[in-house]
């Protein structure tokens, strides 16, 4: 996240020049800092980096799902062969 620098001293001076007494100026400065979360904001670049990370994860997950799909297809064929190997002799013995 980007950090936006905030010159509290200059802010307090500006408030005092506008007629605030020092205590009021410091209180307003503190309230402003707290309201803005110390100036931590996500920039467009930060958001784009997160989007890029999400896209990369999505591609990796897609690749894993494709790999698992191939393995499941193989297991299905193997299971079909096992069932056929068991059922064919059983059926042959019934018709003798």
Chain segment 34-85, per-residue pLDDT in tens: 877 665 677 899 999 999 999 999 999 999 999 999 899 999 999 999 999 9
**Residue of 12 and 35 predicted with greater confidence:** 12
Q: How far, rounded to the nearest angstrom, does the alpha carbon of residue 69 sit from its chain's CA centroid? A: 25
> Would strands 40-41 and 2-3 be described as parallel, antiparallel, or unpaired?
antiparallel
pTM of the model: 0.45
Query: What is the total count of domains within the chain?
Result: 1
Residue 9 structural domain: 2-94
């Amino acid at each position: 996240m980007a950090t936006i620098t905030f010159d509290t001293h200059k802010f307090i001076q500006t408030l005092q020049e506008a007629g605030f007494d020092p205590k009021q100026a410091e209180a307003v400065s503190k309230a402003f800092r707290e309201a803005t979360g110390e100036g931590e904001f996500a920039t467009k670049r930060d958001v784009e980096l997160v989007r890029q990370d999400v896209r990369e994860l999505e591609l990796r997950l897609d690749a894993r799902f494709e790999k698992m799909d191939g393995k499941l297809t193989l297991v299905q064929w193997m299971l079909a062969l096992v069932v056929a190997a068991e059922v064919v002799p059983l059926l042959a013995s019934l018709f003798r």
